[in-house]
Chain A
Amino acid sequence: AQSVTQLDSHVSVSEGTPVLLRCNYSSSYSPSLFWYVQHPNKGLQLLLKYTSAATLVKGINGFEAEFKKSETSFHLTKPSAHMSDAAEYFCVPFQGGKLIFGQGTELSVKP
């Protein structure tokens, strides 16, 4: 079975500073992993997807994530936060034909 842990329920950064949202996974095989973002009162938007073809995955809006097998991590980063990045972020495995969501990490961006 596959599961993920988002290590922070809430992260606060200042505009223009780096963003780091942490996700650890637990799997006995190579996972199918995604990052989704949800802005307030909106649906879910796909940020990026891990494929075994590349450990560094670039997504939309300047986000990227690095799959580190040695650390079983798939952290989401962005060099410079923008006010519009304030949202809920989900690190999500795909298993058994469905996405398995946890609680997510709320990102706040201060001016």
Chain B
Amino acid sequence: DAGVTQSPTHLIKTRGQQVTLRCSPISGHKSVSWYQQVLGQGPQFIFQYYEKEERGRGNFPDRFSARQFPNYSSELNVNALLLGDSALYLCATPGQSTDTQYFGPGTRLTVL
């Protein structure tokens, strides 16, 4: 978690609502990846952004979207929330080597 920040820490929403999660990468790093970790499972890759362009997408429905800003911070949006979207959402940025990912503390989303 070398400098990656995420907000908010916790969030409670109801089914059908929309949510926006935020991530700031390590200063000066241009790549951000998002992962979803459902309770009891390992994280699953959602998106990667580099220089504001989507570079990779995991097997998630179109309800999930993201964007990256000129300062390289990123937002993950989830529309029409389902109970199954309850999870820890993690943001990661690479270190000196692009395959070495450093994670933020995550945002815990609970959908009721």
Binding site for B on A (CB under 8 A): 32, 34, 36, 41-46, 49, 90, 94, 96-104
Q: Is there contact, CB below 8 Å, between B45 and A99? A: yes
Query: Quick one: which of A32, A43, A46 contacts B104, CB cutoff 8 A?
Result: A43
Beyond A42-B105, A43-B105, A98-B33, whether A49 also contacts B41 by CB under 8 A is no
Tell me the interface secondary structure of chain B in the complex.
strand
Q: Is there contact, CB below 8 Å, between A99 and B101? A: yes
Q: Is there contact, CB below 8 Å, between A103 and B42? A: yes
Q: Is there contact, CB below 8 Å, between A43 and B90? A: yes
Query: Quick one: which of B42, B45, B55 contacts A102, CB cutoff 8 A?
Result: B42
Query: Quick one: which of A43, A45, A98 contacts B56, CB cutoff 8 A?
Result: A98
A-B contact sample (7 more), CB < 8 A, given A34-B100, A43-B103, A44-B92 = A41-B108, A44-B90, A45-B1, A46-B101, A94-B99, A97-B48, A99-B35
Contacts of B41 on A, CB cut-off 8 Å?
Answer: 103
Contacts of A104 on B, CB cut-off 8 Å?
Answer: 42
